[in-house]
Amino acid sequence: EFLFLTFTLKNPKVTQMRKAMRTMSQAFGMLIKRKIFADVFRGGIRTFEVTRNYAERLKNHCHPHIHAIAQTKADAFNLFIAYMQAEEIKALKKEYKDKRDKENKEKMLKSIIKINKRFDGLSVKKKAEMIKVFFEDNWTECLKKCAEKEGLSWNDEDYAKTEGRAIVDVKQVRAGGEPGAPILTGEGFQEHGDKVINYVLKYSLKEDDKRIFTGDKWSQIFDNQIRGMRMIAPFGLWRSELGKEE
Protein backbone atom coordinates (compact mmCIF):
# COMPACT_ATOMS: atom_id res chain seq x y z
CA GLU A 1 0.00 0.00 0.00
CA PHE A 2 0.98 3.66 -0.24
CA LEU A 3 0.52 6.67 2.04
CA PHE A 4 0.60 10.32 0.99
CA LEU A 5 2.08 12.32 3.86
CA THR A 6 2.52 16.03 4.56
CA PHE A 7 4.74 17.21 7.43
CA THR A 8 4.66 20.81 8.65
CA LEU A 9 6.44 23.24 10.92
CA LYS A 10 5.43 26.66 12.25
CA ASN A 11 6.21 29.25 9.58
CA PRO A 12 9.78 30.50 10.15
CA LYS A 13 11.14 33.83 9.01
CA VAL A 14 12.66 33.53 5.55
CA THR A 15 16.07 34.32 7.11
CA GLN A 16 15.67 31.11 9.16
CA MET A 17 14.44 28.95 6.29
CA ARG A 18 17.67 27.01 5.84
CA LYS A 19 17.74 26.03 9.51
CA ALA A 20 14.05 25.12 9.34
CA MET A 21 14.49 22.90 6.29
CA ARG A 22 17.57 21.21 7.75
CA THR A 23 15.58 20.60 10.94
CA MET A 24 12.69 19.09 8.98
CA SER A 25 14.97 16.93 6.83
CA GLN A 26 16.74 15.53 9.89
CA ALA A 27 13.44 15.04 11.73
CA PHE A 28 12.04 13.10 8.78
CA GLY A 29 15.12 10.87 8.76
CA MET A 30 14.78 10.32 12.51
CA LEU A 31 11.08 9.52 12.22
CA ILE A 32 11.43 6.81 9.57
CA LYS A 33 14.14 5.12 11.65
CA ARG A 34 11.81 4.70 14.64
CA LYS A 35 10.93 1.05 15.04
CA ILE A 36 7.26 1.11 14.03
CA PHE A 37 7.89 3.30 10.98
CA ALA A 38 10.94 1.27 9.95
CA ASP A 39 8.82 -1.87 10.26
CA VAL A 40 5.85 -0.55 8.25
CA PHE A 41 7.57 1.65 5.65
CA ARG A 42 9.40 -0.04 2.80
CA GLY A 43 10.56 3.11 1.10
CA GLY A 44 9.39 6.14 -0.79
CA ILE A 45 10.28 9.63 -1.90
CA ARG A 46 9.99 12.95 -0.13
CA THR A 47 10.09 16.48 -1.51
CA PHE A 48 10.11 19.96 -0.05
CA GLU A 49 7.53 22.54 -1.01
CA VAL A 50 7.98 26.15 0.12
CA THR A 51 5.26 28.76 -0.19
CA ARG A 52 5.00 32.39 0.88
CA ASN A 53 2.17 34.42 2.32
CA TYR A 54 1.74 38.06 1.31
CA ALA A 55 -0.35 38.94 4.37
CA GLU A 56 1.25 41.81 6.30
CA ARG A 57 1.92 39.82 9.48
CA LEU A 58 3.54 36.96 7.52
CA LYS A 59 5.29 38.86 4.75
CA ASN A 60 8.75 38.11 6.20
CA HIS A 61 7.98 34.43 6.75
CA CYS A 62 7.87 31.29 4.60
CA HIS A 63 6.05 27.97 4.79
CA PRO A 64 8.31 24.96 4.16
CA HIS A 65 6.67 21.55 4.33
CA ILE A 66 7.50 18.01 3.29
CA HIS A 67 5.33 15.92 0.98
CA ALA A 68 6.10 12.22 0.79
CA ILE A 69 4.85 9.02 -0.76
CA ALA A 70 5.61 6.05 1.46
CA GLN A 71 5.28 2.47 0.26
CA THR A 72 4.15 0.35 3.20
CA LYS A 73 3.40 -3.21 4.15
CA ALA A 74 -0.16 -4.32 3.45
CA ASP A 75 -2.85 -3.03 5.81
CA ALA A 76 -0.62 -0.23 7.15
CA PHE A 77 -3.35 1.56 9.12
CA ASN A 78 -4.13 -1.58 11.11
CA LEU A 79 -0.43 -2.19 11.72
CA PHE A 80 -0.13 1.26 13.30
CA ILE A 81 -3.30 0.68 15.34
CA ALA A 82 -2.01 -2.70 16.55
CA TYR A 83 1.25 -1.03 17.62
CA MET A 84 -0.62 1.64 19.60
CA GLN A 85 -2.73 -1.05 21.25
CA ALA A 86 0.35 -3.08 22.19
CA GLU A 87 2.11 0.00 23.58
CA GLU A 88 -0.89 0.88 25.73
CA ILE A 89 -0.99 -2.65 27.17
CA LYS A 90 2.78 -2.59 27.67
CA ALA A 91 2.50 0.66 29.67
CA LEU A 92 -0.30 -0.82 31.76
CA LYS A 93 1.75 -3.92 32.59
CA LYS A 94 4.66 -1.69 33.58
CA GLU A 95 2.36 0.20 35.94
CA TYR A 96 1.42 -3.07 37.66
CA LYS A 97 4.93 -4.53 37.54
CA ASP A 98 5.54 -4.28 41.29
CA LYS A 99 1.96 -5.11 42.24
CA ARG A 100 1.95 -8.89 42.06
CA ASP A 101 -0.90 -9.68 44.44
CA LYS A 102 -4.05 -11.38 43.18
CA GLU A 103 -6.27 -8.29 43.43
CA ASN A 104 -4.01 -6.12 41.33
CA LYS A 105 -3.46 -8.89 38.80
CA GLU A 106 -7.23 -9.13 38.31
CA LYS A 107 -7.44 -5.34 37.92
CA MET A 108 -4.72 -5.44 35.29
CA LEU A 109 -6.42 -8.23 33.34
CA LYS A 110 -9.74 -6.37 33.40
CA SER A 111 -8.00 -3.22 32.16
CA ILE A 112 -6.36 -5.17 29.32
CA ILE A 113 -9.76 -6.57 28.31
CA LYS A 114 -11.14 -3.01 28.22
CA ILE A 115 -8.26 -1.83 26.06
CA ASN A 116 -8.72 -4.72 23.62
CA LYS A 117 -12.46 -4.13 23.47
CA ARG A 118 -11.97 -0.41 22.80
CA PHE A 119 -9.51 -1.05 19.97
CA ASP A 120 -11.65 -3.83 18.47
CA GLY A 121 -14.58 -1.43 18.22
CA LEU A 122 -12.76 1.36 16.37
CA SER A 123 -14.42 2.73 13.25
CA VAL A 124 -12.43 3.48 10.10
CA LYS A 125 -12.77 7.21 10.79
CA LYS A 126 -11.56 6.86 14.38
CA LYS A 127 -8.55 4.81 13.27
CA ALA A 128 -7.60 7.54 10.79
CA GLU A 129 -7.89 10.18 13.53
CA MET A 130 -5.73 8.16 15.92
CA ILE A 131 -3.09 7.53 13.27
CA LYS A 132 -2.93 11.24 12.46
CA VAL A 133 -2.32 12.07 16.14
CA PHE A 134 0.24 9.24 16.38
CA PHE A 135 2.18 10.63 13.41
CA GLU A 136 1.97 14.16 14.82
CA ASP A 137 3.23 13.10 18.26
CA ASN A 138 6.21 11.32 16.75
CA TRP A 139 6.92 14.06 14.22
CA THR A 140 6.82 16.76 16.91
CA GLU A 141 9.20 14.82 19.16
CA CYS A 142 11.66 14.48 16.27
CA LEU A 143 11.29 18.14 15.30
CA LYS A 144 12.06 19.33 18.83
CA LYS A 145 15.24 17.27 19.03
CA CYS A 146 16.45 18.36 15.60
CA ALA A 147 15.51 22.02 16.15
CA GLU A 148 17.71 22.10 19.25
CA LYS A 149 20.57 20.52 17.31
CA GLU A 150 20.21 23.08 14.47
CA GLY A 151 19.83 26.06 16.80
CA LEU A 152 16.30 26.73 15.55
CA SER A 153 14.12 28.31 18.23
CA TRP A 154 11.19 26.21 19.45
CA ASN A 155 8.20 27.44 21.43
CA ASP A 156 5.48 25.01 22.53
CA GLU A 157 3.01 27.90 22.60
CA ASP A 158 3.28 28.15 18.81
CA TYR A 159 1.45 24.80 18.68
CA ALA A 160 -1.13 25.47 21.38
CA LYS A 161 -4.01 25.50 18.90
CA THR A 162 -3.09 21.98 17.73
CA GLU A 163 -2.67 20.54 21.24
CA GLY A 164 1.10 20.92 21.17
CA ARG A 165 1.61 19.05 17.92
CA ALA A 166 3.01 20.06 14.54
CA ILE A 167 0.44 19.09 11.91
CA VAL A 168 0.85 15.97 9.79
CA ASP A 169 -1.61 14.90 7.12
CA VAL A 170 -1.89 11.15 6.48
CA LYS A 171 -3.85 9.77 3.54
CA GLN A 172 -4.05 6.36 1.92
CA VAL A 173 -3.28 6.57 -1.80
CA ARG A 174 -6.09 5.35 -4.03
CA ALA A 175 -5.73 3.90 -7.52
CA GLY A 176 -5.97 6.71 -10.05
CA GLY A 177 -6.20 9.22 -7.18
CA GLU A 178 -9.98 9.18 -7.32
CA PRO A 179 -12.04 9.37 -4.08
CA GLY A 180 -13.72 6.04 -3.42
CA ALA A 181 -11.32 4.15 -5.69
CA PRO A 182 -9.61 1.02 -4.31
CA ILE A 183 -6.54 1.48 -2.11
CA LEU A 184 -3.46 1.43 -4.33
CA THR A 185 -1.34 -1.69 -3.84
CA GLY A 186 1.89 -2.96 -5.33
CA GLU A 187 -0.08 -4.74 -8.05
CA GLY A 188 -1.68 -1.50 -9.20
CA PHE A 189 1.54 0.50 -8.97
CA GLN A 190 2.69 -0.50 -12.44
CA GLU A 191 -0.40 1.19 -13.87
CA HIS A 192 -0.68 4.17 -11.54
CA GLY A 193 2.87 4.52 -10.17
CA ASP A 194 4.05 7.30 -12.48
CA LYS A 195 0.99 9.36 -11.65
CA VAL A 196 1.56 8.89 -7.92
CA ILE A 197 5.22 9.90 -8.05
CA ASN A 198 4.54 12.87 -10.32
CA TYR A 199 1.84 14.00 -7.90
CA VAL A 200 4.47 14.34 -5.17
CA LEU A 201 7.13 15.84 -7.42
CA LYS A 202 4.79 18.56 -8.67
CA TYR A 203 5.08 20.18 -5.25
CA SER A 204 8.82 20.58 -5.54
CA LEU A 205 9.98 24.15 -6.01
CA LYS A 206 10.44 25.31 -9.59
CA GLU A 207 12.99 27.97 -10.52
CA ASP A 208 10.41 29.82 -12.61
CA ASP A 209 7.73 29.89 -9.87
CA LYS A 210 6.54 33.50 -10.05
CA ARG A 211 4.74 33.10 -6.70
CA ILE A 212 8.16 32.83 -5.04
CA PHE A 213 10.71 34.53 -7.25
CA THR A 214 9.39 38.07 -7.67
CA GLY A 215 12.79 39.77 -7.53
CA ASP A 216 12.05 41.49 -4.21
CA LYS A 217 14.22 41.34 -1.08
CA TRP A 218 12.28 38.32 0.26
CA SER A 219 13.01 36.24 -2.85
CA GLN A 220 16.67 37.27 -2.82
CA ILE A 221 17.01 36.06 0.78
CA PHE A 222 15.04 32.94 -0.13
CA ASP A 223 17.35 32.17 -3.05
CA ASN A 224 20.38 32.46 -0.79
CA GLN A 225 18.81 30.31 1.94
CA ILE A 226 17.77 27.51 -0.39
CA ARG A 227 21.02 27.23 -2.30
CA GLY A 228 22.50 23.75 -2.05
CA MET A 229 19.50 22.29 -0.21
CA ARG A 230 18.34 18.83 -1.31
CA MET A 231 14.71 19.31 -2.29
CA ILE A 232 13.93 15.74 -3.40
CA ALA A 233 15.20 12.54 -1.78
CA PRO A 234 14.23 8.85 -1.91
CA PHE A 235 14.32 6.79 1.28
CA GLY A 236 14.30 3.15 2.31
CA LEU A 237 14.33 0.57 -0.48
CA TRP A 238 13.51 3.25 -3.05
CA ARG A 239 16.91 4.83 -2.49
CA SER A 240 18.76 1.70 -3.60
CA GLU A 241 16.30 0.93 -6.40
CA LEU A 242 16.48 4.45 -7.88
CA GLY A 243 20.25 4.31 -7.50
CA LYS A 244 20.32 1.19 -9.69
CA GLU A 245 18.33 2.98 -12.39
CA GLU A 246 20.70 5.92 -12.33
pLDDT in tens, the chain (246 residues): 889 999 999 999 999 999 999 999 999 999 999 999 999 999 999 999 988 877 888 888 999 999 999 999 989 999 999 999 999 999 999 988 877 778 888 999 999 999 999 999 999 999 999 999 999 999 999 999 999 999 999 999 999 999 999 999 999 887 765 666 667 666 666 666 676 666 666 666 555 566 666 778 888 898 889 888 888 899 998 887 665 555
The pLDDT of residue 73: 92
What pLDDT is recorded for position 132?
97
Find how far residue 65's CA is from the centre of its chain. 10
What is the reported pLDDT for 244? 56
User: Which pLDDT score, from 0 to 100, does residue 189 have?
Assistant: 65
Q: What is the pLDDT of residue 99?
A: 76
Q: How far apart are CA 214 and CA 140, in angstroms?
A: 33
pLDDT at 59: 86
Q: What confidence score (pLDDT) does residue 97 get?
A: 82
pLDDT at residue 229 in the model: 85
The structure's pTM equals 0.86
